[in-house]
Amino acid sequence: MSKAMIVDDSKAMRMFLSKTLEEVGYEVCVAANGKEALSVFEREKAGISLVLVDWNMPEMNGLEFVQAFRSDPGHSSVMLMMVTTETEMEQMVKALEAGANEYVMKPFTKEIIADKLRLMGALQ
């Protein structure tokens, strides 16, 4: 079973995304901000192939997390999806340039997440 990590300061969003990913076959671990996510990834990295990350979080936001995460060449095979309320094209470009593979704007549905995962090759 593939493993995914969800990084979001909203407990409700972590629960929604966890349920969504579990329904399509992922084992899920969670973090409440980017700083915590880096620690969780180091502890759990053996199986994590996908990270869904929110932009607006305390301590280390999603963009800072993507930049820090991608600075390690050993993380290049892990797919990153930015899942955020940031809707400006400039923000999307920043996230993709920093190393996010895909970008999803809130609000979204389970179907939109599944479609994006298929586009990324993370779901059949």
Domains and CATH numbers, the chain: 3-120 (3.40.50.2300)
pLDDT of residue 31: 97
State the DSSP code for 56.
S
pLDDT interval class at 97 (50, 70, 90): very high
Q: In which residue are the tokens 């759990």 written?
A: 44
98 pLDDT more than 80:
yes
Identify the burial level of 70 via C-beta atoms within 10 angstroms of its C-beta, where 0-12 means exposed, 13-18 middle and 19 or more buried: middle
- What is the arithmetic mean of pLDDT over 72-84? 93
Q: How far apart are CA 40 and CA 30, in angstroms?
A: 8
pLDDT tens for each residue of 42-72 = 988 678 999 999 999 999 999 999 999 999 9
For strands 27-31 and 79-84, give the pairing: unpaired
What global pTM score does this model have? 0.94
11 pLDDT more than 90:
yes
Helix (H) or strand (E) holding 27: strand 27-31
